[in-house]
Structure 1
Amino acid sequence: MLSDKKICEFEKKINYTFLDKSLLTKALIHRSYGNEHRDFKNINNEKLELLGDAVLDLIITEYIYIKFSNATEGELAKLKAMIVSEPLLAEVSTEIGIGSYMFLSKGEELTGGRERNSILGDVFEALLGGIYLDSGFENAKEFVLKYFVDRIVHIDENLDLVDYKTILQEFTQKEYKKIPKYIVLEELGPDHNKQFKVGVKVKNSIVGEGLGRNKKSAEQMAARNACGRLEVKLHETL
């Protein structure tokens, strides 16, 4: 288990001191660990993860409900889905450095479990569940918002989370009764390191261009640039 030194080190990282240290330990135990340690066969972070998922959902929903007070239910649901997502939770876990403190089986560790998004996302929710049980909702809320407020403010800059092609299409259908068309303008570089330059047309005019290592990423970048040019930003629609 974690030594007192390691516990203190981890608590300093997250700026939270557990009253019940066993909750912190349990939050870090992946179920695979029990396969190699009989004493932990039925001890893992899955129930804490379930609880943390519900707590996170409420915290984020409350925050965006207040911040984007003019948004519709559908718009808030889309935004929440982008925020409470595996990639973003894993990103936060990586920022904190949770991966190096987790208890994993040797097999999971050898196959990159400490860097796997699904495991990192789950352990963040388990940690949140532990904090909620340890000292209540307000401390859990403070912990979450410390990592998520800035990400929410700048979420429209994250191409991995925001589907700009869909946002642009919804806008052009509503405003112009037209669907954007994507065309490859240029292929750059050798075959083993090719890049695609893509343009997106609306009403026969190119309104955005994007560069990417494949057509899909180039189209997303083009759509993002088109949204900027047409002043269709995620937060403005909310």
Structure 2
Amino acid sequence: MRHLEETLGYTFHDRSLLENALTHSSYANENRFKGCQSNERLEFLGDSVLGMVTADYLFRTHPDLPEGDLTRTRAALVCEESLVEVAKAWGLGEYLRLGKGENAGGGRRRPSIQADAVEAVLAAVYLDGGIGSARKIIQKYILDRESEKARNRDYKTALQELVQRESGQVLQYRLTGSSGPDHAKIFTVEVDLNGATIGQGEGHSKKEAEQNAARAAIGHLEHP
């Protein structure tokens, strides 16, 4: 488990918390006579810790997003698929304590088990070192990674693919204005779908403004 601590960037004062976080109910049931407990209670706590840290991050970094968009973004960040990616980054599967049947049935690779264990580990860190320690891990492995994905995403291509699900759709980007001095000019672009404006964006270049307009348009079409 020391290698897992190195991956997390956190050393436990109470190693039993980490051990508990890695204990699946199947293992706990087989070792009940030893007083072994599963990670289910830690999973419950970790879900709340993760949700709170993520909500706080989104609230502070996206002051213009409405409540509905904040809720959907948080849900995407803390979903099972996202947590499985974290589990893989940690190599968490090899550390799990599983019952014989669950282990033989491929439990170490089961998405639900991996995702639950991630939440349990976050709770263990929270109990052992406080919210600041948990926040650092969540920031590194969930929030920063998602920010990097967003920066690298081609929203114009994504929007084109979205509207092409129906034939005869026409997208058009229009430069509607610019402001500021030449060395720090801000461009404003609107994107139209079949003549109706569905998104607007600003940027320090026309390309950046178009990407931001496409991003806004995707949000409009997916969550009208």
Q: Give the structure-1-normalised TM-score.
A: 0.66
The unaligned stretches of length 5 or more in structure 2 are 174-209
Match of residue 215 from structure 2: 233
- Per the TM alignment, residue 55 of structure 1 is displaced from its structure 2 partner at its CA by 0.4
Match of residue 188 from structure 2: none
Match of residue 169 from structure 2: 202
- Per the TM alignment, residue 67 of structure 1 is displaced from its structure 2 partner at its CA by 1.1
* Aligned counterpart for 2:165 among listed residues 182, 186, 202: 182
Match of residue 223 from structure 1: none
SS at match of 1:232: helix
Match of residue 18 from structure 1: 12
After the TM superposition, list the runs of 4 or more consecutive aligned residues in structure 1 that deviate by more than 4 angstroms: 155-159, 234-238
Match of residue 33 from structure 1: 27
Amino acid at match of 2:129: S
| CA RMSD, Structure 1 to Structure 2 (Å) | 3.2
- Per the TM alignment, residue 91 of structure 1 is displaced from its structure 2 partner at its CA by 0.6
* Aligned counterpart for 2:107 among listed residues 103, 113, 119: 113
Match of residue 9 from structure 1: 3
1:70 aligns with 2:52: no
1:32–1:201 distance in 2 versus 1, CA, 3 Å:
farther
Kept in 2: contact 1:156–1:235 (CA 8 A): no
1:103–1:235 distance in 2 versus 1, CA, 3 Å:
farther
1:69–1:112 distance in 2 versus 1, CA, 3 Å:
same
Task: Tell me the distance in 2 between the aligned counterparts of 1:201 and 1:79.
Answer: 31
The unaligned stretches of length 5 or more in structure 1 are 1-6, 169-179, 184-199, 208-227
Between 1:115-124 and 1:149-158, the stretch displaced more is: 149-158
**Among the aligned pairs, what percent are the same residue?**
35
Kept in 2: contact 1:48–1:125 (CA 8 A): yes
| C-alpha distance after superposition, 1:62-115 (max 9, x if no partner) | 111111111100111111110010000011011111110000012111221111
- The within-5 A match list for 1:85-104 is 85-104=79-98
Q: Give the structure-2-normalised TM-score.
A: 0.70
Match of residue 122 from structure 2: 128
Kept in 2: contact 1:24–1:130 (CA 8 A): yes
Paired residue total: 179
Task: Tell me the distance in 1 between the aligned counterparts of 2:74 and 2:150.
Answer: 13
